[in-house]
Amino acid sequence: MIGYNTPFSTAAKHAVLIIGALIVILPFYIMATYSLKDPIEITSGTGGVFGKQEAFLDPGCVQSGNAKEDCLFNPIAYNYGQAFSKAPLLRYLFNGVVVTLSIFFIQVLVALPCAYALSKLRFWGRELVFTMVLLGLLIPVHAIALPLYIMLSKVGLTNTYAALVIPWTISVFGIFLMRQFFMTVPDDLIDAARMDGMSEFAIVWKVMLPTAIPALLAFGIFSIVAHWNDYFWPRVVITGTRELFTPPLGIREFASGIDGSDYGPMMATACVIVVPLIVAFLLAQRRFIQGITLTGMK
Amino acid sequence: MAGITLQNISKSFGATRVLRDVDLDIRDGEFLTLVGPSGCGKSTLLRIIAGLESQSGGHVAIGGRAVDQVRASERDLAMVFQSYALYPHLTVRQNIETPLRLRDLNAWERLPLLGLLSAGRAAKMRRLRAQVAETAEILKIEELMDRKPGQLSGGQRQRVALGRAMVRKPAAFLMDEPLSNLDAALRVHMRSELAELHRSLATTFIYVTHDQSEALTMSDRMAVMMGGEILQLVTPDEIYHDPRDLRVAQFIGTPQINVFDAAISGGQGVTVNGVPLAAEVTGDGDLAFVAVRPEHLTLLPADGAGQPLTVTLKENLGADFFIHGHIGDGAAPVIVRATPAEAADVAIGSVCALAPLNAAEVMAFGRDHARLDLVMTGAPAAVLERV
Amino acid sequence: MIDTPRPRGLFKTGHAFVAPAVLLMILILMVPVVVAAILSFSNYSLGSPDFDWVGVKNYSKLFARSTYKKMLTASFVYIGVVVPLSVFLGLGAALLINSLGRFGNIYKTIYFLPVMATLLVMAIVWEFILHPDVGVVNRLLALGCGTFAETILSFGWLPWVDPATTFYGHGCAQDFPHWLGSKHTALGTIIFIGVWQGFGFNMVLYLAGLTSVPRELVHASVIDGADSAWDRFWLVTWQMLGPTTVFVVVITTIRSFQVFDTVEALTDGGPVKTTYVMMYAIYEKGILQNLIGIGSAITIVFLLFVLAVTLVQRWFVERRVHYT
């Protein structure tokens, strides 16, 4: 009898939520549908959802002296073909994968032993280190991009993979999260491992790591999503060399040099960059929401 | 103050029937307890009376007024919850004040700041404060008034929850296992306080619990519920001494009542575990069980005239002993309440004799669990011989 | 417990385990703050060997020059609108979805999509949607011109309104806004994208918060006479969501301070610096124009703002200590 929905109130709630959903989904719809259409359909706003999929003539191709019949393209093939051929999109994607995975890998490598020591070992200065972690939580890395950039350029590291990765190698949030998690692991488990003759180093990787898998998975999703989508830091340290572009830098370059016929390929590029995470999200929704809202545990 | 009448109340959640055509007539000013194992539908019944849940069928009337379409807040009832459900962000005073504010002040007067502008609010607030102070005095919680629930002990929270219920002077109090979150000693103490409160307020109390001792000690009448039905509704005394259903007899009483297989042989004569009992069943009914309370069984020395009982466990409760054992080859477990003197000679593993049943103290039940009436015949006692 | 013999020296396993993290924390988080603080008192620039100490000149510029006044205005307007809107929409969506039960999940998925998607990419798509000529939005608006929709939306039916001066009437007669190109609408558009992207995150946090509102408390409020949904919300739900709200506001504020992608891709801080937010200013001054001194000063001010927000949060959390 409480919060009871009448058919009218239910319909009204759905109406509000549907209007919201349409606005939220609009850019995703535009991105997907325009990546399927030919330039004329895009500029004139015709072609429905999937476009008519008729072959169209690429004027640029004709101008460069090719025969007319060689310049007829299917819109989907053209858009996605151009996305990969006009710019080294595959290279960008590869860079993105390398950078996000290295960041995550190093973060875990640094954070896990530290979190273990902070939660389970006694040593002089432990409180001091934990205080540093708490202070670190106050500093958004983006905010100190300028001094970081100066320091990196002083040691000649700008325009390298290292520059993309280094500022993110330390995740104070990861340390904090793992420490909180390890606090809940019973000391008996560690003592049992010591009795079995494991070294402290082995305990971290063979005992603590497996128990921390759920937390680590959530942190992994958080980290990977954040760095795959990051645009600011790559923009700062990668100047010029396309070889090192991450996907967001790639599409930014594409968008800045755009003319009317390129909208299709640009939307195709956008799809290629955004879709992998969206698909992963749809497949493992609960884990993703858990991971992304991890910051809620602070 | 008002009586409450329930007619044919039924409730289903999907395909599950939680309540089956419950009829209940609660008298004005009585302390009525709904007792039963968890899942028997007692809480659902209480929430239907409160208006927190709507029944699938049947009618509720409070003080003669049908309230089926009446909102919870307008039924003039107060409720005390198991978790106390105090507003954690409000002080004790504000918690007790809340039902009065919501009822007596209109939406405009409840607005922060703006409400202060409305004429007549000050007078209303004065009246309201006086009522709160009066309640606090009765419950002796005056010194807690400016604390938040988080700073109170369980017993103190319990009092505040009572205060919030009392302050409105409702027609009836509904209580949903209000003592189950307290520790054992406090629970016993609060039992007497609640009974005292009921006497002084002289208002209807409807009390839900799974704890039979709470039901037995406080109620004017108690209803034993099982499987969505009320099996019996009488005074605690009657429930204990004259249960009309085997399930009631088994639910009420610690330790549990002893149940023996029984049958009718040779016309109306009753045999228990094959031993004849000097009693006959009157009326129809397919006799199947005979039940005896532990205090109505007597132990005799091993050479006494009775059925041999192998002792498996002796529980010392100080004033009494509970002797657990079984007759014959272990088919029928038996519990006997004995005085320390009687129990002194009984050793675990030894065999004693169980005195013959007194037909006046046994209860007979049919295969459908319904009580059957017994009349004594001939000799007052039968001897349970070796089977 | 058996005390296993271990080296008794000052240096223990624990030190070895925290050493890499401590080293990186110092190098990557602490030193840069100090570097920024020092350089903010200089006119340093990369590549030139000499520089001078200029005292607090960089800071005084920040609060005197109109460019930086515009920067602070843009940042605070952005935060001041994005935070309440995305918190409010997140809460509203969570409440609606929560009351719908299982059917609500589909909306939850949809509203969370922008949080997942690469903001820069989506910003570019928005730019295209809001394009004055080929964009869907203006094309849709133009569709209504000359029809009865124009009469209604331009409010020409109200006797005291001149349809040519209303948004829609003006749009039909001349043209509809160049959303990102006009100084009147650019910041609003950036704000819109910010809210679009962020409210789903808040919704998820509120949905988690809602599961912790005890049912008995809601029932108690019903018995006490909280008949309307509003009364129940105000007496119970909103109060129980207090800690969630503090957290959501802080997170959204800190994220809003850091807005950059949309501005860099869509407006470059323009037109006439109406979207010149702090992160973009740091990037433009410090990186593009190599004015490290002023860039560092903005960095320090930025960090102080973030610190202030966190301190306010701590204060709120402390105040609510007796809550549970």
Domain boundary pick from A26, A43, A76: A76
Verify that A69 and A95 share a domain, yes or no.
no
Q: Say if C161 falls within a structural domain.
A: no
- In this prediction, residue B382 has a pLDDT band, given cuts at 50, 70 and 90, of very low
DSSP 8-class letter at C56: T
Q: Say if C274 falls within a structural domain.
A: yes
Q: Is the pLDDT of residue B19 over 80?
A: yes
User: Can you tell me the mean pLDDT for A113-133?
Assistant: 92
- Tens of pLDDT, residues A136-183: 988 889 999 999 999 999 998 989 999 999 999 999 999 998 998 898
Q: What is the pLDDT along chain C (324 residues), one digit of tens a residue?
A: 344 455 555 567 889 999 999 999 999 999 999 999 999 999 888 887 788 888 888 899 888 888 899 999 999 999 999 999 999 999 999 999 998 877 888 999 999 999 989 999 999 999 989 988 778 888 888 877 777 777 777 777 777 777 777 777 777 777 788 888 888 889 999 999 999 999 999 999 999 889 888 888 999 998 888 888 888 898 899 989 988 898 899 889 999 999 999 999 999 887 889 999 999 999 999 999 999 999 999 999 999 999 999 888 888 887 764 454
In chain A, the percentage of residues whose pLDDT exceeds 90 is: 39
Residue in A closest to C301 by C-alpha: A143
- Tens of pLDDT, residues A264-278: 888 999 999 999 989
For residue C82, give every residue at least 6 positions away whose Cβ sits within 8 Å of its Cβ, in sequence order, or none.
C191, C194, C195, C198, C252, C256, C259
User: Can you tell me the mean pLDDT for A58-80?
Assistant: 79
- In this prediction, residue A87 has a pLDDT band, given cuts at 50, 70 and 90, of confident
Chain B residues within 8 A of C229 when measuring between CB atoms: none
Distance CA B109, CA C88 (A): 26
Domain boundary pick from A76, A106, A126: A76
Is C239 at the interface with chain B, CB within 8 A?
Answer: yes
3-state secondary structure of C45: coil
Verify that A280 and A243 share a domain, yes or no.
yes
Determine the pLDDT at residue B330. Answer: 61
Is the CB of C235 less than 8 angstroms away from the CB of B87?
yes
The domain total for chain C is 1
Verify that A125 and A167 share a domain, yes or no.
yes
Q: Say if A83 falls within a structural domain.
A: no
Which residues on neighbouring strands pair with residue B173, listed in sequence order? B78, B205
Residues B72/C222, Cβ–Cβ less than 8 Å: yes
User: Can you tell me the mean pLDDT for B102-127?
Assistant: 76
Strands B351-354 and B258-264: unpaired
Determine the pLDDT at residue C22. Answer: 95
Residue in C closest to B73 by C-alpha: C225
* CATH number of the domain to which C183 belongs: 1.10.3720.10
Determine the pLDDT at residue C8. Answer: 52
Q: Say if C91 falls within a structural domain.
A: yes
Chain C residues within 8 A of B106 when measuring between CB atoms: none
Residue appearing with tokens 């002084």: B200
Verify that A233 and A110 share a domain, yes or no.
yes
Q: Say if C145 falls within a structural domain.
A: no
Is the CB of C121 less than 8 angstroms away from the CB of A45?
no
Verify that A224 and A282 share a domain, yes or no.
yes
User: Can you tell me the mean pLDDT for B101-114?
Assistant: 75
- In this prediction, residue B263 has a pLDDT band, given cuts at 50, 70 and 90, of confident
Residues B46/B81, Cβ–Cβ less than 8 Å: no
The two structure tokens encoding residue A219: 């942190």
Q: Is the pLDDT of residue A186 over 60?
A: yes
Residues B79/B174, Cβ–Cβ less than 8 Å: yes
Determine the pLDDT at residue B266. Answer: 66
Q: Say if A84 falls within a structural domain.
A: no
Is the CB of B89 less than 8 angstroms away from the CB of C219?
no
Verify that A170 and A66 share a domain, yes or no.
no
- Tens of pLDDT, residues A22-51: 999 999 999 999 888 887 787 777 777 787
Q: Say if A22 falls within a structural domain.
A: yes
Distance CA C148, CA C146 (A): 7
Range of the domain at C257: 58-132+177-323
Q: Is the pLDDT of residue B168 over 80?
A: yes
Chain B residues within 8 A of C219 when measuring between CB atoms: 47, 52, 79, 81, 85
Q: Say if A28 falls within a structural domain.
A: yes
Determine the pLDDT at residue A268. Answer: 92
Q: Say if C288 falls within a structural domain.
A: yes
The two structure tokens encoding residue A121: 């070992």
Q: Say if C98 falls within a structural domain.
A: yes
Q: Give the CA dihedral B272, B273, B275, B280, nearest 10 degrees.
A: 20
Determine the pLDDT at residue B249. Answer: 93
* Residues in chain B whose Cβ is within 8 Å of chain C: 47, 50-52, 71-73, 77-79, 81-83, 85-89, 98-99, 102-103, 148, 150-151, 164
Complex ipTM = 0.89
Q: Say if C266 falls within a structural domain.
A: yes
Verify that A285 and A200 share a domain, yes or no.
yes
Range of the domain at A127: 89-297
- In this prediction, residue A295 has a pLDDT band, given cuts at 50, 70 and 90, of low
Q: Say if A1 falls within a structural domain.
A: no
Verify that A147 and A289 share a domain, yes or no.
yes
- In this prediction, residue A237 has a pLDDT band, given cuts at 50, 70 and 90, of very high
Number of separate helices (H) and strands (E) present in chain C: 17, 0
Output B107 or B373, whichever has higher pLDDT: B373
Verify that A70 and A152 share a domain, yes or no.
no
Determine the pLDDT at residue B161. Answer: 92
Q: Say if A160 falls within a structural domain.
A: yes
Determine the pLDDT at residue C320. Answer: 67
* CATH number of the domain to which A115 belongs: 1.10.3720.10
Output A62 or C194, whichever has higher pLDDT: C194
Positive/negative CA dihedral, C196, C197, C200, C202: negative
Q: Say if C38 falls within a structural domain.
A: no
Residue in C closest to A129 by C-alpha: C22
- Tens of pLDDT, residues B194-220: 999 999 888 999 999 999 999 999 999
Question: B47: distance to nearest CA of chain C, Å?
Answer: 10
Is the CB of B78 less than 8 angstroms away from the CB of C223?
yes
Strands B299-300 and B287-292: unpaired
Which domains are delineated in chain B?
4-241 (3.40.50.300), 256-376 (2.40.50.140)
The mean pLDDT of chain B is 86
Verify that A120 and A255 share a domain, yes or no.
yes
The domain total for chain A is 2
Is A3 at the interface with chain B, CB within 8 A?
Answer: no
What's the per-residue H, E or C state across A125-140?
A: CHHHHHHHHHHHCCCC
Verify that A49 and A175 share a domain, yes or no.
no
- Tens of pLDDT, residues B58-105: 999 998 888 888 888 888 899 999 988 899 888 999 999 998 888 877
Query: Within 13 A of B250's CA, how many CA atoms are on the CB side?
Result: 15
Verify that A284 and A181 share a domain, yes or no.
yes
